[in-house]
């Protein structure tokens, strides 16, 4: 499961991820990170079974946690061109039986790259 | 042998046999071309892709008091009005003056076709017969007298596929190209594409009635840049009758606005040869993959490829498997071929023979240019360089004495190994750093060559936010330095 961590000016100075990883004995995979002196936003991936526990621990250290359960969404603006197929790092998009472009949501790691590629602006990442 | 008149008679009687180009491949494979020609009367084709060379003529009617428009904007997108008082041509790639790439001519056209109103704004110099100097109003497709789509270059028979050898992401009209041959993109729908099914242009020519944007349209000649087998068509149709589903505005990020246009062309199966032509399959349609990493007109060819390989989703480049993205919609193209088939079966669409054929041979010439200015003509040479062993102080002295800001660092063979700028030195000094040039130099240097056009050198500086480039020869030896000042003297801005 993907978790979005929001750090404030205090928590951003502490080695929170390391602490949580050690204390919960959890493997934490950083997917995306934006860290500034007074603020930070990090998306991490953890195993589904331990997600709840890990999220609680982050909260304890003053980090706001939101579960990212939603993946890439393709809207009705799509014209099934396929421009997105080759740019997605995990192969979320595929040409289906009837030549429509199908989305394998489960593979999406929310990197956001495809959003800026689709000529029809048909892709979005729900918050 | 059949004539178009005979086929039209069958359409009228309701017993015409129409199949799509995809169905035709199987029929010919099964029956052979001769039998297929007897069985099938019409083969429908379709394509739906980004066609930048598109636009529409409008006649807005006269205002009171009248205006002779000198400049006109539709939703802030400028249209060309150097043609009579209230006529204008809006090109799809023209960008909004306020929204830039977010909105352009294509969006105006889609909005109009969707029935929306757009703002019309015009200015003029005023004459005795046209005293008005400006006007702002709202118009819809219903309000204008004519709205005629005229597309100078559509329906490319085939197109060169794209890849990128450079180490940056490129944003192009061929979509987003990932670095280091990270992907391939291609346009066109191969065996379903109109011109591929009539490669000698026997039945597609001036006057051919076609499906254009959901309405009936016509071929009015070969398109611009027509160069068989990379043939193109110039087409027209009545925008007022078109459907938004088949005209979709799009933005290729970092490149600009374009319009996805839906075109379908019926091909009369006059004889065995036409049956054979329409049986063409993707593995017989060749194109090349070119390298957009080289920003020149003659981009290097990476390899030959067929549409069958491209459509498979993976091609091999330098021994590695690379993923492929189509840019044209197969789904929509098939839908157009099906839709056209139904229109003919229902007796709503009759075929025409061209009144004039389009050229089967034509070359696409490059632009005549006075000269291509290259870096060699503006660079400072011989270059002032420094050794990595020199002290920071020494470097500072050279920069000041020569009134320059960039100092390439070279080894004893004259090969480039780094660069120091006056900024690097100032920073080192401010931090009280003493030591050698190699301690503070930048090792990853962006370079140019003597033969590189100055526009490309300028774009490199712009992209990397730097103000000079060392010029290197093929052995990476520094032969000069070119600065943005040198270039700006030559680049008209
Ligand atoms: S690039 Fe956009 S329009 Fe094209 S298939 Fe992907 S989501 Fe659809
Ligand atoms: S957000 Fe990233 S992983 Fe998800 S579909 Fe888009 S490109 Fe693929």
CATH value at residue B487: 3.10.580.10
Per the domain annotation, does B362 fall within a domain?
Answer: no
Does the distance separating the beta carbons of B252 and A86 come in below 8 Å? no
Measured between beta carbons, the chain A residues lying within 8 angstroms of B49 are 81
For the domain covering A73-124, report its CATH number: 3.30.70.20
Measured between beta carbons, the chain A residues lying within 8 angstroms of B20 are none
Measure B173 CA to nearest chain A CA, in Å: 10
Q: Residue A127: pLDDT above 80?
A: no
Per-run averaged pLDDT (10 residues), chain B, 493 residues: 95 97 97 96 98 98 96 98 96 97 97 98 96 97 97 96 94 95 96 97 97 98 95 98 98 96 98 97 96 87 96 94 96 98 98 95 81 87 92 90 91 93 86 86 92 88 89 94 84 58
Angle between helices B422-430 and B392-402 (to 10 degrees): 130
Does the distance separating the beta carbons of B184 and A81 come in below 8 Å? no
The residue from B110, B144, B178 where one domain ends is: B144
* CA A109 to centroid of ligand 1, rounded, Å: 18
**B52: annotated active-site residue:** no
Tokens 């830039």, located at residue: B100
Render A38-107 in DSSP notation, one character per residue. TEEEEEEE--HHHHHHHHHHHHHTT-EEEEE----EE-TT-----TTGGG-TT--EEE-TTSPEEE-GGG
Does the distance separating the beta carbons of A81 and B327 come in below 8 Å? yes
**What class, spelled out in words, does domain A2-68 have in CATH?**
alpha beta
Within this chain, do residues B78 and B196 fall inside the same structural domain, yes or no? no
pLDDT of residue B492: 59
Kindly identify the ligand whose nearest atom is closest to the C-alpha of A123: 1
pLDDT of residue B493: 46
Does the distance separating the beta carbons of A98 and B331 come in below 8 Å? yes
Residues of A with CB under 8 A from a CB of B: 79-87, 91, 95, 98-101, 116-117, 119-121
Per the domain annotation, does B365 fall within a domain?
Answer: no
Given the residues B14, B30, B129, B368, the one annotated as active site: B129
* CA A121 to ligand 1: nearest atom: 2
Q: Which residues have any ligand 1 atom within 6 Å of their CB?
A: A 74, 78-84, 101, 118, 120, 122-123
The residue from B357, B385, B419 where one domain ends is: B357
Q: How far is CA B6 from CA B1, B144, B350, B354, in A?
A: 10, 39, 11, 16
Which residues span the domain enclosing B394?
375-492
A95-126 residue pLDDT tens? 998 999 999 988 888 888 999 999 999 999 88
The residue from B113, B144, B175 where one domain ends is: B144
Within this chain, do residues B27 and B79 fall inside the same structural domain, yes or no? no
Per the domain annotation, does B473 fall within a domain?
Answer: yes
Nearest to B307 by CA among B18, B21, B19: B21
The number of C-alpha atoms within 13 Å of B67 and in the hemisphere containing its C-beta is: 24
The tally of domains found in chain B comes to 3
The number of C-alpha atoms within 13 Å of A33 and in the hemisphere containing its C-beta is: 10
- Among A82, A115, A122, most B C-beta atoms within 10 A, so best to mutate, is A82
Closest by Cβ to B325, choosing from A79, A82, A120: A82
A59-99 residue pLDDT tens? 999 999 988 777 899 999 999 999 999 999 889 999 998 99
Q: What is the ipTM of this complex?
A: 0.80
């Amino acid at each position: 499961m993907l978790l979005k961590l929001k750090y404030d000016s205090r928590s951003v100075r502490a080695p929170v991820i390391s602490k949580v990883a050690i204390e919960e004995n959890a493997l934490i995979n950083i997917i995306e990170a934006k860290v500034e002196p007074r603020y930070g936003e990090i998306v991490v991936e953890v195993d589904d079974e331990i997600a709840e526990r890990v999220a609680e621990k982050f909260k304890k250290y003053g980090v706001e946690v939101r579960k990212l359960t939603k993946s890439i969404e393709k809207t009705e603006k799509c014209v099934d061109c396929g421009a997105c197929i080759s740019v997605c790092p995990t192969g979320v998009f595929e040409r289906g039986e009837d030549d429509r472009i199908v989305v394998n949501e489960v593979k999406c790691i929310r990197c956001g790259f495809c959003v800026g590629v689709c000529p029809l602006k048909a892709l979005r990442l729900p918050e | 042998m059949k004539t178009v008149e005979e086929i039209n008679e069958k359409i009228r009687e309701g017993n015409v046999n129409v199949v799509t180009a995809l169905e035709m491949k199987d029929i010919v494979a099964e029956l052979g071309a001769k039998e297929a020609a007897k069985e099938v009367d019409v083969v429908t084709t379709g394509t739906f892709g980004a066609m930048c060379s598109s636009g529409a003529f409008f006649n807005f009617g006269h205002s009171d008091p009248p205006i002779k428009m000198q400049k006109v904007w539709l939703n802030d997108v400028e249209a060309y009005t150097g043609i009579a008082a209230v006529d204008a041509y809006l090109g799809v790639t023209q960008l909004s003056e306020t929204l830039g790439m977010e909105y352009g001519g294509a969006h105006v056209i889609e909005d109009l076709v969707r029935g929306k109103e757009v703002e019309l704004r015009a200015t003029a110099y005023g004459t005795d017969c046209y005293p008005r100097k400006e006007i702002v109003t709202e118009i819809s497709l219903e309000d204008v007298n004519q709205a005629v789509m005229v597309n100078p270059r559509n329906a490319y028979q085939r197109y060169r596929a794209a890849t990128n050898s450079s180490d940056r992401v490129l944003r192009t009209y061929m979509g987003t190209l990932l670095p280091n041959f990270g992907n391939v993109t291609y346009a066109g729908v191969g065996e379903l594409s109109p011109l591929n099914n009539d490669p000698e242009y026997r039945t597609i020519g001036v006057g051919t009635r076609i499906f254009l944007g959901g309405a009936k349209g016509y071929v009015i000649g070969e398109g611009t840049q027509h160069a068989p087998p990379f043939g193109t068509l110039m087409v027209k149709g009545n925008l007022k009758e078109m459907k938004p589903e088949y005209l979709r505005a799009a933005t290729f990020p970092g490149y600009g606005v374009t319009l996805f246009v839906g075109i379908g062309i019926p091909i009369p199966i006059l004889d065995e040869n036409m049956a054979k032509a329409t049986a063409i399959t993707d593995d017989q349609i060749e194109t090349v993959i070119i390298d957009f990493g080289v920003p020149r007109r003659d981009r290097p060819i990476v390899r030959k490829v067929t549409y069958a390989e491209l459509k498979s989703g993976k091609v091999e480049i330098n021994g590695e498997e690379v993923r492929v993205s189509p840019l044209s919609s197969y789904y929509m193209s098939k839908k157009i071929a099906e839709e056209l088939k139904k229109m003919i079966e229902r007796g709503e669409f009759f075929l025409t023979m061209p009144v004039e054929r389009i050229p089967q041979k034509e070359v696409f010439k490059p632009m005549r240019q006075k000269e291509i200015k290259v870096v060699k003509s503006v660079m400072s040479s011989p270059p002032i360089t420094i050794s990595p062993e020199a002290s920071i102080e020494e470097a500072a002295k050279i920069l000041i004495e020569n009134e320059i800001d960039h100092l390439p660092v070279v080894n004893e063979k004259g090969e480039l190994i780094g660069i120091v700028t006056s900024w690097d030195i100032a920073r080192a000094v401010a931090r009280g750093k003493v030591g050698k040039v190699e301690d503070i130099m930048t090792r990853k240097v962006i370079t140019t060559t003597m033969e590189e056009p100055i526009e490309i050198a300028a774009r490199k500086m712009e992209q990397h936010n730097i103000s000079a480039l060392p010029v290197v020869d093929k052995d990476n030896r520094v032969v000069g330095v070119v600065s943005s000042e040198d270039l700006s003297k030559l680049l008209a801005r």
